[in-house]
């Protein structure tokens, strides 16, 4: 295995990645951990997104997810669970650090139809072989592979189109809306973040009543050609081609099996409590 290294572009920041079990991560995503290259980065990114779900189960249960790397790994790597952007991003950044990539941890403002939304989405800027890429494993509905950090860069990998556009000092990640028009998913600059910056954002996302992740379940599993998401009590299956999307209502008694189908195992008291909260929520 390659030598441990810190974030070389910002050596004053210690992300405490030395204790991460790379072998366990390799077994979790089923992807070999190769020396840094664009090809290896793309393969690793896609394997992570397709294997580890996006989910907010802990938040719905009234818990604030820990951003300690050991806790993130115990949840996302050692069990059949997922997480949201801070957990995914910090885990993936640690893996890249350990493999020898030059990683800058950044933050984005999720836009869609909310231009004044909070700046609470973790993004990674990764340099390898002289080129920088946006790596965004924790967006839930994001790209399967990185995008080169250059104006007009585009990917259609897996049938899901995304592009990057430069707007002044910001980068805008865009994808088509249901009508096929490009819309802004999120925007970010290249300012490096510290761990405490994510702690603040994590607190807001996990506890604030205006957060999109408090009060309702949000689970996403993206693959080539198909994207499955459970939002509130609605399970939506979207296809990359012209196949009409499928929408079904999931009853509380079917919640455990539905979560399993999305790669998440919740049992015992947690499932009972989650089902209670779930039964009292609905998708607007």
Q: Does 26 participate in catalysis according to the annotation?
A: no
Q: Which of 136, 186, 227, 233 is catalytic?
A: 136
Q: Does 225 participate in catalysis according to the annotation?
A: no
Q: Which of 45, 121, 157, 227 is catalytic?
A: 121
CB 239, CB 245: distance < 8 Å? yes
Q: Does 88 participate in catalysis according to the annotation?
A: no
Token pair in block for residue 70 = 């050991």
- Sole residue written with tokens 């295995």: 1
Concatenate the DSSP letters of all residues of 72-141 into one string.
Answer: HHHHHTTSS--B-HHHHHHHHHHHHHHHT-EEEEEEEEE-TT-TT----EEEEEEEETTEEEEE-TTSSS
CB within 8 A of 187, min separation 6: which ones? Answer: 108, 109, 111, 167, 170, 171, 172, 173
Token pair in block for residue 179 = 């009508």
The pair phi, psi for residue 182, each rounded to 5°, is -70, 135
Cα–Cα distance for residue pair 180/182, rounded to 1 Å: 7
Element (H, E) at 104: strand 102-110
Cα–Cα distance for residue pair 227/89, rounded to 1 Å: 20
Token pair in block for residue 255 = 């919640």
Q: Which of 45, 48, 58, 85 is catalytic?
A: 85
Strand, coil or helix: 82: coil
Cα–Cα distance for residue pair 61/21, rounded to 1 Å: 28
Bridge partners (DSSP) of residue 182 are 176
CB 87, CB 72: distance < 8 Å? yes
Bridge partners (DSSP) of residue 109 are 187
| Residues involved in catalysis | 85, 121, 136
């Amino acid at each position: 295995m390659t030598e441990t290294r810190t974030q070389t572009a910002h050596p004053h920041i210690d992300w405490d990645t030395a204790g991460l079990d790379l072998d366990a991560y390799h077994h979790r995503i089923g992807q070999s951990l190769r020396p840094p290259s664009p090809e290896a980065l793309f393969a690793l990114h896609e394997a992570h997104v397709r294997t580890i779900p996006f989910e907010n189960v802990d938040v719905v249960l009234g818990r604030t997810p820990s951003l300690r790397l050991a806790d993130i790994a115990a949840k996302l790597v050692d069990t059949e669970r997922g997480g949201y952007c801070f957990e995914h991003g910090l885990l993936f950044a640690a893996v890249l650090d350990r493999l020898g990539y030059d990683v800058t941890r950044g933050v984005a403002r999720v836009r869609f139809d909310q231009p004044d939304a909070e700046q609470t989405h973790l993004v990674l800027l990764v340099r390898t072989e002289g080129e920088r890429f946006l790596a965004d494993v924790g967006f839930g509905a994001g790209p399967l592979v990185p995008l080169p950090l250059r104006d007009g860069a585009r990917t259609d990998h897996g049938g899901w189109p995304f592009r990057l556009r430069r707007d002044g000092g910001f980068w805008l990640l865009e994808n088509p809306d249901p009508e096929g028009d490009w819309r802004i998913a999120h925007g970010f600059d290249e300012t490096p973040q510290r761990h405490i910056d994510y702690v603040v954002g994590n607190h807001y996302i996990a506890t604030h009543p205006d957060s999109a992740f408090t009060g309702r379940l949000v689970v996403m599993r993206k693959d080539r050609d198909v994207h499955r998401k459970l939002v509130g009590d609605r399970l939506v299956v979207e296809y990359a081609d012209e196949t009409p999307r499928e929408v079904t209502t999931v009853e509380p008694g079917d919640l455990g099996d539905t979560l399993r189908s999305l790669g998440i195992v919740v049992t015992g008291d947690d499932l009972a409590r989650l089902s209670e909260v779930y039964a009292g929520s609905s998708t607007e």
